[in-house]
Every structure is written in structure tokens, then in C-alpha cells.
Amino acid sequence: MQIRAVSTAPFTDQKPGTSGLRKRVQVFRRPHYLENFVQSIFDTIAAPLGAVLALGGDGRYYNREAIQVILKMAAANGFGRVLVGRGGILSTPAASCVIRKYQAYGGIILSASHNPGGPDGDFGIKYNTANGGPAPEKITEAIFSASKTIAQYRIADAPDVALDALGDSKLGDMTVSVIDPVGDYAGLMESLFDFAAIRALLSGGFRLKFDAMHAVTGPYAREIFVNRLGAPSDSVINAEPLPDFGGGHPDPNLTYAHELVEALYGNDAPDFGAASDGDGDRNMILGRHFFVTPSDSLAILAANAHRVPGYKQGLAGIARSMPTSAAADRVAAALDIPCYETPTGWKFFGNLMDAGKVTLCGEESFGTGSNHIREKDGLWAVLFWLNILAARRQSVAAMTRRCEASGAGMAASHPLTQTAGFAITSDLASVADSPSRMASSSIGNVSRDVEDIVREHWAHFGRNVYSRHDYESIPNEAANGVMKLLHGRFGELQGAHLGNYKVLFCDDFSYTDPVDGSVSTGQGVRIGFTDGSRIVFRLSGTGTEGATLRIYLESYEPDVAKHRLDAQQALAELIRISLEISELRERTGRERPTVIT
């Protein structure tokens, strides 16, 4: 096998964003573009000769071609073995699992996540380190620096490697091991959750619908939900991964996962709905006619973790990204464990998990995960919810049996039912100090219903009313203008009265990593009010066209009587204030957000 050193010139735009380098497919297909970035990764990480690399992607358009290029470059750069998912497929969480399980030196994941795919869509590439997590900023910055001075890359002259059958082959001195992309990950899930209880739930008439959005999770969801947990095969929809995601936008939110949303909000809706994104790390959770915000989801998983085998030992701590609501903070306080606030981006959780400081992490951007791997994990979140639902059903059944055995009618005998309006099967027992603060729920539906779990949670902890408004594809100049204007207004905003609110502080969030002391600045403009409400403005770091400006809105409502109010109504005044102080409409010409979640 001959190794060629190819002369090249730098590109100036290879700066990784929130999660790796994301560009249009046409950009990646420009001569040397992919190769330059891959060589910049290899030059930066300086892996020892013979090191093991994991490699796979979400199957989007250009995945296979890119895998072949990277394999030949890995061989030319001295790797000893590459573990590649069959067909070039590895979901992001599965890649993290594989890196950790086989103690790889690192991994390359090909994905633009929730961004659309196809010849005119997006492609992406990111490097994960030996802990299985996204490379921290100091590495991504070093990769960017290397990309600015690169003069040549190394690639092997060799035929393409067959990727569709499991087994080993040789590329020069390097071994290419084609591995089952699903098995290791599914096994890990089985070790964390009570599959028997979930199987019993699903066989007892509980109906699940999971939307794989024609993205990478289809085969994972089929294996886990249908083959291992016995759900009917039509529980998983859009399960065939397609290079262009069937022309859809594989982002699991209320706008883009509309097929699932229509099913869950329709007549005869299933009990539980969930969706995942292009590369399988995001999740959306729905109940019957009910949406669980990702911020609430994190808090509820934390409050119910004692119900789940993999977490019943307790949580070391919780971490959330800054724009994520403070719902999880309230649970952490009740559990008397620390809660960390990090910048947006899963890479900021890695150090905290490695140091044993946190067990659960979550972001408002539909990401939840734990220290089982070092990426957020869509199917994991779905299984966690199913496990909670199954455990609650079991505890209701056990309680019913106990009451019947004691010869007393349950409603009359259980202490929590002595007063109307108490939830009799609170899963929050370990953190509840006053059952009288629980919401009302009947025994018939408390164990079955996502909405009841959420309402019960709000009744106990109060509701962090939350919404995110995204203005997508706006001109960079206008978006930067808005951010600059806000920065310029910090002085006048401080202490200002805006409608019914008084500004307590305004700043641009910066974070000092408590483990390695690294500092990340410019992570989003925060305007905090005296009553704990917040408005956050932030530019997305994952888009490829123009800019996406995100406005995050949050208020706190302790009064159960007001919990049924629609979030947009409850936040109406904050929304109005956010538009006024940012001059967003005037500067962008946009009358309304592209996506509201």
C-alpha cells in the first residue's frame, strides 16, 4: 500500500461550532476540504502509532464516501485499528459507547445532527476523545489552528473497504473491524433499565409510538423496543434510515416531528410518544395531548431516578446548560446534591462526569443523558421515561394488592387519600417533604400518564414555565447587530423596570470549569429579573446558513391553580420585553419565530 502526501492549502472556515464542523455537503465535497479537516484532527491529537479509532456516522448523504476517505487517511497516519459501524453507521451515543467499551484512543463521528441532509443538505464531522465525549474547546481550537496552516495531508492509495459485512479486513498495516452498530449500545441500555418491567408495561396495553424520523435511530429503536421489549412493530415509525431523511428535518421538536405530534394529539392517541434526531442523541417526550419540555424532562428524570436500576444508588449531581430552565436546580436542592450550570454544548459536561461530580445532564435543546456514556442519548431518555412509567404502574399494583389484602378499600385506607387532592403514588417520595403539596391524580391514571407525572412534579416543585423562540436563517449582520445592541444596553438595563419586571442583572455568561479551570466566555446574554424570571439571547453554533438567534424565556410559577396556563400566554410579557429591548423585529424584519418549543 502506497501512502501519498498530498499538498494542500488551508481553508479559513474550518472552525468547529457547538458540536464539530458543520457545513453544506457541497462545501465538504470541495477538493481537499474533508481531508484538510481530518488531517488537522490527526495532527492535533497526535495518537500513538497503532492506536484504535472508532468511526461511524448517522448515514446521511456523503457518509459512505467520507468514511472511505477517513479510513485511508487513518491508515496513512499510523492507526492500528479502526472500529467502524456496519454500513458506516453509528449513532452518536453508540459511538460514545463503542469508544469507551473498546478503550479507543478517540472517535470520529460524521453527522450534522438535526440539520437536514441530502445533496443540498448539511454534513458534519466531530472528534470525540477517549472518554467517549466531544473534544473540549482546547482541542477543537487546536484543530482549527492546525487547519489554518495545513500544507499537506497523508492518504493511502488503496481500494475502498467493504463495509456491509461484519468482520476484519486489512488496509495496509491497519485493521478495519466492521462492528454491529447496535449490539453494544442495546446491551448497555439493558444493563441500566428494568427491561422486564418495561416489557410488562408494553404488554399490558400501554401504547408507545417512537418516531425515528428516517434517521439513524431506526435500527436501534427496532432492536430495543420491538425485539427486546416486545412492542408491536408499528410502534416505531419512519424507521428506515435514509440519506436525506426522507426530505424531512430530523429535529425532534413540535414543528418538525409533526407526524408524531399529530398522532399524540389526535383521537385515539397512544399513551407515550417520543422522537429522536439525525444522529440519535436528542429526544422529545410526549404524553397523550401533552408535551414535556426538555428542561422539565431533566428535572423529572432526576426526581424519579431512584426508580431506575442503573441510578437507584443516587445521583452525584446534576448539570444543565445555562439556557436550560432551573427546574433541575430545584430537584437537586431537594436531593441535597450539587447542580452545575454550564455553557451550551455537551462537551462542557465531560469533565464533570469524569470527575464524578454529576450523574445526570441535560439541555433545553432536547438533550438528556448520564454518565453511562459521554454524549446525550435520545433512546436512553425514552427508556428512562418508560422505566419510570413502568415502576409507577408496579407500585400502584403493589399498593392495591396490599390494601386488598388488609381488607380495606384503598381509597379509604391509604393515609394520602384521606384528604381529597393528594396523589397516592407519588414517585417523589424521596424528595417530598409535604405530600399535601402534591397534585391531584386518580389511581387509575397516575401510573399511566405522562401528563400526571409532570403535573405532580410541578405541584411539588413549582413550575418553571419555559419556552424557546428560534429565528432561523437570518442575515449574520442583523443577528450580530441584535447581540451588539444588547451588550451596549447592559448599563441602562441594570435595575430597569420593564413592565411588571425589574432587572436584577444582565451579563454575557462565562464559565470556569471547576475541574480544569478553563474559562469560556461569551456564552449568551442573560437578563435576570428580581422574581427569578429570565430572558436569554444566544446565537446558535450549529447552523450552516446565516444565523439562528435563540431567545430563551423562563418564569417561575409556584401556584398550582396557574399551572394549566399555556406557556406562551404565561410568558407573553417576557416575550414582549425581549422583542422590545432587542429590536429584533425592526432589525431582522421577522414578525414571528421560525420555531417555538
Q: Which residues are catalytic?
A: 113
Q: Taking CB under 6 A as the rule, does residue 172 contact ligand G16?
A: no
Count, residues near ligand G16 per rule CB under 6 A: 18
Pick the piece of the chain touching ligand G16 (CB under 6 A) from 63-71, 382-390, 446-454, 540-548: 540-548
CA distance 18 to 344: 7
The phi, psi pair for 440, rounded to 5°, reads -80, 140
Of residues 14, 19, 370, 441, which one binds ligand G16 by CB under 6 A? 19
Min separation Cβ 391 and ligand G16, Å: 28
- Which residues, 294 to 323, sit near ligand G16 by CB under 6 A? 321
Min separation Cβ 334 and ligand G16, Å: 25
C-alpha cell at 129: 476523545
Q: Taking CB under 6 A as the rule, does residue 441 contact ligand G16?
A: no
Which of residues 344 and 533 has its CB atom nearest to ligand G16 in the complex? 344
Min separation Cβ 292 and ligand G16, Å: 17
Of residues 367, 369, 524, 593, which one binds ligand G16 by CB under 6 A? 367
Q: What residues have CB less than 8 Å from 134, skipping those under 6 apart?
A: 19, 20, 126, 127, 128, 345, 346, 347, 350, 374, 375
Are 212 and 239 in contact by the 8 Å Cβ rule? The answer is yes
- Which residues, 66 to 125, sit near ligand G16 by CB under 6 A? 113-114
Q: What residues have CB less than 8 Å from 275, skipping those under 6 apart?
A: 210, 211, 212, 213, 252, 257, 260, 283, 284
- Which residues, 320 to 339, sit near ligand G16 by CB under 6 A? 321
Min separation Cβ 339 and ligand G16, Å: 17
Are 70 and 55 in contact by the 8 Å Cβ rule? The answer is yes
Q: Taking CB under 6 A as the rule, does residue 468 contact ligand G16?
A: no
C-alpha cell at 265: 394529539
Q: Taking CB under 6 A as the rule, does residue 542 contact ligand G16?
A: yes
Min separation Cβ 323 and ligand G16, Å: 8
SS (H, E, C) 228-279: HCCCCHHHEECCCCCCCHHHCCCCCCCCCCHHHHHHHHCCCCCCEEEEECCC
Are 330 and 287 in contact by the 8 Å Cβ rule? The answer is no
Pick the piece of the chain touching ligand G16 (CB under 6 A) from 29-37, 295-303, 341-349, 500-508: 341-349
Three-state SS at 123: strand
Q: Taking CB under 6 A as the rule, does residue 346 contact ligand G16?
A: yes
Site string for ligand G16, 276-295 (x = CB under 6 A): -x---xx-------------
Q: Taking CB under 6 A as the rule, does residue 377 contact ligand G16?
A: no
- Which residues, 223 to 282, sit near ligand G16 by CB under 6 A? 277, 281-282
113: left (phi over 0), alpha (psi -120 to 50) or beta: left
Torsion of Cα atoms, 296 then 298 then 302 then 304, to 10°: 60
Question: Considering Cα of 278, then 280, then 283, then 286, what sign does the dihedral take?
Answer: positive
Of residues 540, 565, 573, 583, which one binds ligand G16 by CB under 6 A? 540
Min separation Cβ 463 and ligand G16, Å: 22
Count CB neighbours of 167 within 10 A: 10
Task: List residues near ligand G16 by CB under 6 A.
Answer: 18-19, 113-114, 277, 281-282, 321, 344-346, 363, 365, 367, 540-542, 550
